[in-house]
């Protein structure tokens, strides 16, 4: 492992939650840090998400019960899941590897690893939001899984058992108790699970931008440009950018979210098995004052509705597709119809519909560590559904590995060598 030292120069590629968190953790340890991103901080996937920071997110999508759900999913029976057969043919290796992790042993390893990362990140987010002056953007009211039928609630038993095993605080609510928490929801839900160990924010992009401003106050730099080429020059790296300049670095951190796969392929001919769980969002103004106190997940219809500064943000479940395929709004339109049954939504706001990709590796764990065969290049990528919440823990883990410090959480489940070889 190529150890980093105080005073050395690090260039971080990508200013999403993960890149900015890595930069902050490194700057706090005395390294000289430059972050580059053509869009600026928090403008891509880290902007469009549902803003949930929840211990319940330790459940990966590829859990052992996925096998019994698979026939229904493939037949398009679940509104929270769509896929493009053509794109999946092109990504069949990733698809098979993803499914091969839907078994007990892998599930135990992943849930244990994600639980540690989520808990550590939650503590850091709390401290960082205070330090960055955005604590008022966080709500500590938990979030709600809503069930339209008893059968739906029963089908969530495995998930609830898993959360209980990890000591995640939850409460099952009847319709009256749900009404007390969220009085504006229509009475169409028979049960709800209140995940109390959860927070949410009213603008994920603003949190990233506040962290980026804090980074600059600490002496870091953020540059609006795109990395086009990485080259090893004897002991260090040179990074060519789209504005024609070249940056020198002792270490490079790649935190490119869903763009990581193509970048690794282009620069090093490395094949990263990354799938793209695409998701959409759309905003609504509240109608007749009907709003929410916390994000809600309608488990039957597969969408999340979350109160944001822009209005109520509707986010969809998963569309497995190529990252760059054109948007297909049918899933978002269906989610809107279902959400209107649950809450009196007003007009769509002027914010455009948004599409992003959750970058997912076959074992649903991110990759954090040095890139095999590329000394001084470090990876922080593959955060699937939870990169907004787990950015800070990732940044801290990466910085500890780079500086050879003891790590707060076990780093081995996240090692890049799981899927990348020299
Ligand atoms: C619909 C939806 C809902 C979600 N809800 C949640 C949630 O509630 N909670 C949660 O924790 N997570 C959620 N997620 C997941 C979360 O948003 C992602 O895991 C997370 O944002 C990934 O962060 P990142 O920094 O890795 O990637 P990004 O935020 O995508 O950042 C990568 C950056 O790399 C930049 N880049 C690309 N190419 C280059 C280049 N050549 N040079 C320099 N920069 C480059 C891009 O411009 C981008 O800004 C959701 C995702 C979706 C799609």
User: What secondary structure does DSSP assign to 47-89, as a single string?
Assistant: HHS--EEEGGGGS-SS-TTHHHHHHHHHTT--TTEEE-HHHHH
Please state, in angstroms and rounded to a whole number, the distance separating the CA atoms of residues 307 and 292: 6
For residue 17, being part of any structural domain is answered with: yes
Q: For residue 163, which phi and psi values (nearest 5 degrees)?
A: -60, -40
Please state, in angstroms and rounded to a whole number, the distance separating the CA atoms of residues 309 and 328: 26
- 49, 225, 255: residue to mutate for ligand 1 pocket, most atoms within 8 A of CB: 49
Question: Does the C-beta of 52 come closer than 6 Å to ligand 1?
Answer: yes
Total number of residues shown for the chain: 422
Minimum-distance ligand 1 atom for the alpha carbon of 50: 8
Q: How far is the CA of 169 from the centre of ligand 1 (A)?
A: 28
Q: How far is the CA of 162 from the centre of ligand 1 (A)?
A: 27
For helices 204-217 and 104-131, angle between their N-to-C axes, nearest 10 degrees = 60
DSSP tally for the chain: helices H, then strands E: 13, 23
For residue 382, being part of any structural domain is answered with: yes
* Domain interval for residue 40: 9-46+206-273+363-418
Question: Does the C-beta of 279 come closer than 6 Å to ligand 1?
Answer: yes
pLDDT for position 98: 98
CATH of the domain at 410: 3.50.50.60
Question: Does the C-beta of 382 come closer than 6 Å to ligand 1?
Answer: no
Domains contained in the chain, number: 1
How remote is the C-alpha of 178 from its chain's centroid? 27
Q: How far is the CA of 77 from the centre of ligand 1 (A)?
A: 28
For residue 88, being part of any structural domain is answered with: no
Please state, in angstroms and rounded to a whole number, the distance separating the CA atoms of residues 195 and 188: 20
Please state, in angstroms and rounded to a whole number, the distance separating the CA atoms of residues 176 and 183: 9
Look-up of token digits 């401290």:
127
- 303, 353, 358, 414: residue to mutate for ligand 1 pocket, most atoms within 8 A of CB: 358
pLDDT for position 422: 81
Minimum-distance ligand 1 atom for the alpha carbon of 200: 8
For residue 314, being part of any structural domain is answered with: no
For residue 146, being part of any structural domain is answered with: no
Q: How far is the CA of 415 from the centre of ligand 1 (A)?
A: 20
Q: How far is the CA of 258 from the centre of ligand 1 (A)?
A: 7
Give kind and range of the element (H or E) at residue 105: helix 104-131
Distances (CA, A) of 416 to 23, 35, 101, 412: 19, 22, 17, 9
Per-residue confidence in pLDDT tens, the chain, 422 aa: 789 999 999 999 999 999 999 999 999 999 999 999 999 999 999 999 999 999 999 999 999 999 999 999 999 888 999 999 999 999 999 999 999 999 999 999 999 999 999 999 999 999 999 999 999 999 999 999 999 999 999 999 999 999 999 999 999 999 999 999 999 999 999 999 999 999 999 999 999 999 999 999 999 999 999 999 999 988 899 999 999 999 999 999 999 999 999 999 999 999 999 999 999 999 999 898 899 999 999 999 999 999 999 999 999 999 999 999 999 999 999 999 999 999 999 999 999 999 999 999 999 999 999 999 999 999 999 999 999 999 999 999 999 999 999 999 999 999 999 999 88
For residue 224, being part of any structural domain is answered with: yes
């Amino acid at each position: 492992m190529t150890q980093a030292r105080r005073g050395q120069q690090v260039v971080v590629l990508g200013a999403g939650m993960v890149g900015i968190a890595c930069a902050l953790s490194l700057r706090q340890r005395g390294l000289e840090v430059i972050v580059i991103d053509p869009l600026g901080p928090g403008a891509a996937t880290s902007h469009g998400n549902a803003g949930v920071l929840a211990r319940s997110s330790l459940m990966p999508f590829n859990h052992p019960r996925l096998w019994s759900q698979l026939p229904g999913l493939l037949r398009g029976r679940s509104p929270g899941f769509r896929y493009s057969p053509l794109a999946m043919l092109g990504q069949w290796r990733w698809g098979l590897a993803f499914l091969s992790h839907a078994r007990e042993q892998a599930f135990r390893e992943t849930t244990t690893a994600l639980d540690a990362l989520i808990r550590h990140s939650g503590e850091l987010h709390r401290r960082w939001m205070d330090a960055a002056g955005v604590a008022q953007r966080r709500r500590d009211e938990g979030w709600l899984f809503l069930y339209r039928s008893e059968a739906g609630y029963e089908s969530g038993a495995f998930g609830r058992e898993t959360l209980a095993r990890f000591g995640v605080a939850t409460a099952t609510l009847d319709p009256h108790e749900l009404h007390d928490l969220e009085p504006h929801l229509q009475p169409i839900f028979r049960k709800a699970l209140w995940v109390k160990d959860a927070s949410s924010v009213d603008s994920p992009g603003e949190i990233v931008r506040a962290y980026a401003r804090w980074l600059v106050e600490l002496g870091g730099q953020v540059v609006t440009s795109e990395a086009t080429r990485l080259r090893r020059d004897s002991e260090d790296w040179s990074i060519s950018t789209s504005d024609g300049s070249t940056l020198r670095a002792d270490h490079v951190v790649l935190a490119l979210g869903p763009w990581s796969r193509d970048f690794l392929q282009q620069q090093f001919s490395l094949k990263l098995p990354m799938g793209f769980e695409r998701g959409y969002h759309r905003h609504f103004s509240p109608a007749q004052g009907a709003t929410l106190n916390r994000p809600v997940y309608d488990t039957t219809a597969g969408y999340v509705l979350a109160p944001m500064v822009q209005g109520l943000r509707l986010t969809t479940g998963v569309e497995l597709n190529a990252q760059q395929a054109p948007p297909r709004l049918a899933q978002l339109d269906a989610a809107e119809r279902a959400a209107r049954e649950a809450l009196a939504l007003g007009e769509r706001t002027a914010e455009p519909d948004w599409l992003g990709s959750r970058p997912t590796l076959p074992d649903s764990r991110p990759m954090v560590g040095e890139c095999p065969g590329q000394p001084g290049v470090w990876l922080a990528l593959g955060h699937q559904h939870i990169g907004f919440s787990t950015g800070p823990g990732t940044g801290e883990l990466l910085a500890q590995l780079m500086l050879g410090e003891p790590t707060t959480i076990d780093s081995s489940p996240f090692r890049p060598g799981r899927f990348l070889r020299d």
